[in-house]
Chains A and B, each alone.
Chain A
C-alpha cells in the first residue's frame, strides 16, 4: 500500500477529540484521543460490529424470554443445531490460532514470529465468542458453572472439553500478557501450556462425537484426529485473514518479516488443506460401504439435500479454490492468500455446520422401517439462532478491532 492510497482520517472525530480535550485530565485525554484516532474503515467496521452485538443481544435475550424451545428450531431428534456448530467453528479457529502461533513462539520457527501476538490475542477473542454462543444454547449455564466443579464426570468428553478449554483460555490470556510485557520465557511456558491444553481440549471436542457409539456417522477415531488437523487449517486461514485486515484498518505498510511470515503461513495452510481434502475423500469413500445409516448421510452429502453445502461451500470455497489460489500464486501474492482465507472461513463455517447436523439427520430407528422415521430429519436454523451466530461474529470483529487499536497493530520486538 502506498501513502497516496491511504484512506483519509475521519474528520468528525477530530472535532470530537478537540471538544473532549478541553474537559479531561491529560491522561484520559490521551487515552480517548488514542482510541479515536483510527481510520475510516476502523470506525465503519467497529460500529458495524457493535451494532451486530446489540442486535444479537436483543435476539438472545428474546430467546431467553420466550424459551429456547420456541426460539430455536432444534428438536428432540436434532438437539444440536447451528449454535453448537458455530461454537465449534469459533473454538476450532481459536485452537488453530494457538497451534499456528505455537509453531513460532513455542517451537521456535523464526518465520512465524511476527504473527504470534495477534494470533494469541485472537485465540482468546475467538474462544470467548465461542463461549458466548454456547451460553445461549445450554439451557442451564449457571448450573453448569456449579456442577462442572461439584459433580465432575471424568468419563465424559464434554466435561474434559469444557474444563480444558477453560484452562486453555486462561493460559492463552496469560501468554498474551507476558508477550505484552516482553517476557518471552514465561510467555513460552504459558504458550506451551495453552498449546497442550488446547490440543487436549479440542481432541476431546472431536471425541464427544467420535465416542458416541449410537451415531454411525461420527463414531470412531476419525473425529479427534480430524478436529486437530482441521484446526490447523482454520488457524492458517484466520492468521492470514486477520493480519491482512489488521494492516488495512491500521493503515500501515506491511514489513518484510510479516510478509515472510504470511508466506510461511500460506504454505502451512495449503498443506493443511491437502490433509483435510485427503481426510474428506476417505471419509466419503469408507462411508459408502457398511452401516446403512452412515451411507444415507454420505448420499445426502453427495447427491441430496446437503449437496450444495458440501460441494459448493465445503469443497469449492473451503478447500479447492483456496488451494488453487495459494498454489498458483506460489504463496507470494498476499492478496491471493487473503482471498483464499476469506473463502476458507466461509467454507469452514459450513464444514462445522454439516458435521454437527449430518450426524443427527438419520433417525435412531431408521432400520426398523417404521412409518414415523422414513426420511432424514429436517433442520433449518431459526431467526433467533442466526442472530446469535451473527452476534458471535460481531464479538470477534469488535474484539479484533479493539485489539488492533489498543495494542497498536500487535507489534513486538521479536
Chain B
C-alpha cells in the first residue's frame, strides 16, 4: 500500500556532506549578497582569485611568495608612497614605478572620489617575461618578483607593449627598462621587510608580505570569506600578485 511515510526523504539532509556543501556553495555564488556597495560572495575569495581550492601549494610556488594587498578605500592620495618610491629607487621625473589613479563618480552616494594605487602586479604568468627576447625581464625563481637584468635590456620595449598594467618605462639613465621590483634591490635584498611604499603609507593602504605564509597579514587578508578580494584586469589571465579589497 502506498503510504507517504514510507517514501524516501528528498531533503538536503539526505545528501552526502560533500554534495550538500557544493550545492550550498553554488547557491551563494549564483545569488551573492549585496552589501556595502560590493558583491560579497560567501565562496572563498582565494578560490575566486586562484581559480580553485586545493591548488594553493601550486599557486604559491615561491618562498617567500611576495604579494601586496591594497585596501583601496584607505588610500587618501597623500602621495607619500610615490615620493618614497622615487627616492628609494632613484626614479627619474619622467617615469614612475607606482601611481595613484583617481576615480570620480559624481552620482555616487556620499564619497564621490576614490583612489586606486597601481604598480607592477608581479604576475605569475607575466606577458612581459615571455615577450622579452633576451631574458632581460625575468621572474625571480626564489621570490617570484619580476626583475630586470639591465645589461641584457636591448630597449625594444616589447615588454612595455606586452604589460597589461602600464607598469614599465624606459629609464634613460640606466639605459634599461625600469619597473617596480617590490624594492628588492634597494630594500628587501638588504634585510628590510617592507617595500618603501608600504612602509611609508600612513593609512595602511598597502600591505606587503609573504602570501605563502599562513601567519602573514597578506595571507589572512586574501584567505577570508567576509570581504571581496579582486585583481585588476583578471581577464588578461596573468595571475597578478597584487590584490585589491576594501577594509
Q: Which residues of B contact A159 (CB under 8 A)?
A: 133-134
Contact B157 A80 (CB under 8 A): yes
Q: In the assembly, what is the distance between CA of A151 and CA of B131, in Å?
A: 13
Which residues of chain A (146-197) have a CB below 8 Å from chain B? 147-148, 151-153, 155-159, 162
For residue B12, CB closer than 8 A to chain A, the reply is no
- Chain B's nearest CB lies how many Å from the CB of A295? 14
- Chain B's nearest CB lies how many Å from the CB of A165? 12
Q: Which residues of B contact A365 (CB under 8 A)?
A: 101, 118, 165-166, 232-233
29 contacts between A and B (CB under 8 A): A67-B172, A76-B166, A79-B157, A79-B170, A137-B156, A138-B155, A139-B175, A140-B176, A141-B154, A143-B153, A143-B155, A144-B156, A148-B134, A152-B134, A153-B130, A156-B131, A212-B131, A212-B162, A214-B162, A214-B165, A214-B238, A364-B166, A368-B116, A368-B232, A370-B102, A371-B102, A371-B104, A372-B99, A372-B101
For residue A215, CB closer than 8 A to chain B, the reply is yes
Q: In the assembly, what is the distance between CA of A77 and CA of B160, in Å?
A: 8
For residue B61, CB closer than 8 A to chain A, the reply is no
B interface footprint on A76-96 (CB within 8 Å = 1, 0 otherwise): 110110000000000000000
Task: List B residues at the A interface (Cβ < 8 Å).
Answer: 94-95, 99, 101-105, 116, 118, 127, 130-136, 151-158, 160-166, 168-170, 172, 175-176, 232-233, 235-238
Q: In the assembly, what is the distance between CA of A151 and CA of B132, in Å?
A: 10
Which residues of chain A (118-138) have a CB below 8 Å from chain B? 137-138
If A364-B164, A371-B102 touch, whether A213 touches B154 (CB-CB below 8 Å) is: no
Which one of A139, A148, A291 contacts B133 once the chains associate, using CB atoms below 8 Å?
A148
- Chain A's nearest CB lies how many Å from the CB of B138? 9
Q: Which residues of A contact B154 (CB under 8 A)?
A: 138-141, 143-144, 147-148
Interface residues on A, range: 35 or more
If A76-B95, A80-B157, A213-B238 touch, whether A371 touches B103 (CB-CB below 8 Å) is: yes
Contact A367 B131 (CB under 8 A): no
- B133 to A, closest residue via Cβ: A159
For residue A69, CB closer than 8 A to chain B, the reply is yes
- Chain B's nearest CB lies how many Å from the CB of A131? 13
Contact B236 A214 (CB under 8 A): yes
Contact B236 A156 (CB under 8 A): no
Task: List A residues at the B interface (Cβ < 8 Å).
Answer: 67, 69, 74, 76-77, 79-80, 137-141, 143-144, 147-148, 151-153, 155-159, 162, 208, 211-215, 291, 359-360, 363-365, 367-373
Chain B CB count within 10 A is highest, among A69, A137, A158, A291, for A158
Q: Which residues of B contact A363 (CB under 8 A)?
A: 166
12 extra A-B contacts, CB within 8 A, seeds A211-B130, A360-B161, A370-B103: A79-B161, A143-B134, A143-B152, A147-B151, A152-B134, A153-B132, A157-B131, A212-B131, A214-B238, A363-B166, A364-B164, A371-B102
Contact B152 A151 (CB under 8 A): yes
Contact B233 A370 (CB under 8 A): no
- A155 to B, closest residue via Cβ: B130
Contact A147 B152 (CB under 8 A): yes
Q: In the assembly, what is the distance between CA of A67 and CA of B133, in Å?
A: 23
Q: Which residues of A contact B151 (CB under 8 A)?
A: 143, 147
Q: Which residues of A contact B118 (CB under 8 A)?
A: 365
If A79-B157, A147-B134, A147-B136 touch, whether A372 touches B102 (CB-CB below 8 Å) is: yes
In the A-B complex, the 9 residue pairs with the smallest Cβ-Cβ separation, listed nearest first, are A139-B155, A214-B164, A159-B133, A144-B154, A147-B134, A79-B157, A370-B101, A364-B166, A79-B160
Q: In the assembly, what is the distance between CA of A162 and CA of B165, in Å?
A: 26
Q: In the assembly, what is the distance between CA of A144 and CA of B99, in Å?
A: 31
Q: Which residues of B contact A162 (CB under 8 A)?
A: 133
Contact B134 A213 (CB under 8 A): no
Q: Which residues of A contact B238 (CB under 8 A)?
A: 213-214
Q: Which residues of B contact A373 (CB under 8 A)?
A: 101
Contact B134 A151 (CB under 8 A): yes
- B157 to A, closest residue via Cβ: A79
Q: In the assembly, what is the distance between CA of A211 and CA of B129, in Å?
A: 13
Contact B127 A213 (CB under 8 A): yes
Which one of B99, B155, B172, B233 contacts A214 once the chains associate, using CB atoms below 8 Å?
B233
